[in-house]
Structure 1
Amino acid sequence: VFSGFAHCDEVLRHPSSCSDRLKSTVAQRAIAAGEEPRPFGTPGFLFLDPPDHTRLRKLVSKAFSPRVVKALEPDIVAMVDGLLDKVAAAGSFEVIEDLAYPLPVAVICRLLGVPIEDEPQFSWASALLAQGLDPFIAFTGQSHGFEERLEAGQWLRGYLRDLLERRRAEPADDLMSGLISVEEAGDQLTESEIIATCNLLLIAGHETTVNLIANAALALLRHPD
């Protein structure tokens, strides 16, 4: 086990390290035993190695431009104000439950062009699928909650596929439409790659931002000056 920055940095940069979980011993044993290699479908580029990772990241970066994020700033400010207004009268609030948890999924849904009424279902799917990012689950093959995560993954991919078809017919000013239209040297993202990218954005983006907001609030409380 490596706990220091220097050692972790060296391991992650080493040529023999990889991000594709299908290359792990646990995954290879499972595949040899007849298990489905990718039960959650095409992986996002977080779980791919070059040259696949390089290609996908280059295409996605063109769609996920600073302009797209900047355009969301007024909406994000309004979302934060709305969440804080709900607890203002109480004089205190639970940082995770009242702000850190609901805000990221709302922003991601707005970024993708998901209707507000579907946000609770997205939050449910995100919470379950984020468990799959836990290294203990990923590398020990622990199956607890697997069926629930599988159900959430199937629902999310189906929803994103329907949204993708709607955006093909009626493009909008959102990330989904951008991913559909982005092109690099004649290369474009496939349907499965777009869905995997949106899937990854929801799962990884939600989980990390919840922790970021919570840790930022804790840091401010510990160091008010």
Structure 2
Amino acid sequence: MRDWDCLTMVTDVDRSDRTADEIFADVLTPQGRSQMGALYTELHGLGEFHRSRLVGRLVTGYRAADAVLRHPAARRNRPDGRSILPRVEEHSSRRLIGRTMLMVDPPDHTRLRRLVSKAFTPRSVTGLAPAITELLTSQMDDLAERAADGAVVDLMAGLAFRLPVAVIGRMLGVPAAEQPGFQQMVRDLNAVVEPLADSGDLSAADVAADALEAYFKDLVRERRTRPCEDLTSALISARDDDDRLSENELVATLVQLFTAGFETTTNLIGNGMLALLENPDQLAALRADPSMMASAVEEMLRYDSPVQASSRVTSAEIVLPDGTIVPENRFLLVVLGAANHDPRVFTEPQRLILRRAEAPPLSFGNGIHYCLGAGLARLEARMVFTELLRRFHTIELAGPPERQAFMTIWGLSRLPLRME
């Protein structure tokens, strides 16, 4: 067995003389992110685990990542109870996120997740299909009208953002007229989970967090006076009747459900559409056989994951599948995007293969923190791509796509298309 504290990293494997830190530093730059697949290949040449001065320890192999995500001693908070997020006391965004189920451990995580999980069971998600169809039909009509006569449309603004935010907004009771204003706030808030966010990024995240917290506090006050048939009212009832949610937990949970409820799906739609356009043979295959839509969405998740990384800290010594020992109180950055491109698990991982039938992607994580809304995101994506290919016989890029600034929450800010 190997202990990271006495391991000397080998850096001359797979024709590379660069260290994992040098490679990962490139991943964190805009130029490097444009070649992320090649950088992940380079990291895989060095192994599944990498000691890093930048972020502690990098986990890039699929089996190692899966093991860490499932391990009960790989937690969100340090053994002494301190948050895994640095400088929490300085940033309201980190304090807010730190109260969500995303960043807490059992037993609090178990309690919070149980309160909202009924809304995201397979049966509940399936029951949302008629409402999603209604919203999608209306938005697709708008998109077709704007795309008429060869006009350029932005898929991100015109559909990829609008549909998921409308779905989660309806679930929580956020009025449709207020939903467009949240897009930039949520993007600013994403800096809170970036490995190397700078002070400017975190200042913008704090402003966004304060605005989101204030909004949902107001919504809670309104629903206490006038309850509705929505998830916000249900969570208020759970809090008031059983005292299982503190007021801070209630608001933080609503913020998390709303922001995560559309951002991941938005990026899945944008990243997936771009992947199809860059692989026209696979786009043609999907048009010819729409029955493979479910496997196609899984491959889109693997190929260009909307979430590229997730952090953990060890609360006790853990042993990983190859025998590597990770001591207590070690920070781990699990690079989900790299794990999804592990050549030990995926044949030709840099290729988009919509009929791929290998290991499931780790894009939604695994273990107790597996994304609660994964089923809803998959359903929305399947419905979106089915309808796009049915409505438009030609879909092509009308200019260079634009990426968002961050690496952890990975998506496009603009995808200009011509569609007929």
Provide the TM-score with structure 2 as the length reference.
0.46
**TM superposition shift of 1:186:** 4.2
Structure-to-structure mapping, 1:40-189, within 5 angstroms:
40=96, 43-64=99-120, 66=124, 69-70=128-129, 72-91=131-150, 92-137=152-197, 142-182=198-238, 186=242, 188-189=244-245
Structure 1 residues 136, 145: CA separation in 2 closer, same or farther (over 3 Å shift)?
closer
Matched residue SS, 2:75: coil
Structure 1 residues 90, 11: CA separation in 2 closer, same or farther (over 3 Å shift)?
farther
Structure having the higher Rg: 2
| Conserved? CA contact 1:42–1:192, under 8 Å | no
**TM superposition shift of 1:213:** 0.5
Structure 1 residues 199, 19: CA separation in 2 closer, same or farther (over 3 Å shift)?
same
CA distance in structure 2 between the partners assigned to 1:14 and 1:147 by the alignment: 34
Structure-to-structure mapping, 1:198-209, within 5 angstroms:
198-209=254-265
Q: Which range is displaced more, 128-137 or 185-194?
A: 185-194
CA distance in structure 1 between the partners assigned to 2:97 and 2:166 by the alignment: 24
| Conserved? CA contact 1:19–1:49, under 8 Å | yes
Q: Are 1:5 and 2:62 matched, yes or no?
A: yes
| Conserved? CA contact 1:20–1:49, under 8 Å | yes
| Conserved? CA contact 1:130–1:203, under 8 Å | no
Q: Which range is displaced more, 93-102 or 143-152?
A: 93-102
| Residue in structure 1 matched with residue 36 of structure 2 by the alignment | none
Structure 1 residues 196, 151: CA separation in 2 closer, same or farther (over 3 Å shift)?
same
**TM superposition shift of 1:181:** 2.3
CA distance in structure 2 between the partners assigned to 1:86 and 1:43 by the alignment: 43
Comparing both structures, which one devotes a greater share of its residues to helix?
1
CA distance in structure 2 between the partners assigned to 1:160 and 1:36 by the alignment: 19
- 5+ unaligned residues in a row in structure 1: which ranges? none
Percentage of pairs with the same residue: 38
Comparing both structures, which one devotes a greater share of its residues to strand?
2
Structure 1 residues 57, 74: CA separation in 2 closer, same or farther (over 3 Å shift)?
same
**TM superposition shift of 1:147:** 1.9
CA distance in structure 2 between the partners assigned to 1:194 and 1:12 by the alignment: 26
Matched residue SS, 1:117: helix
Q: How many residues align structurally?
A: 215
CA distance in structure 2 between the partners assigned to 1:196 and 1:119 by the alignment: 18
| Conserved? CA contact 1:101–1:210, under 8 Å | yes
Cα root mean square deviation, aligned: 2.9
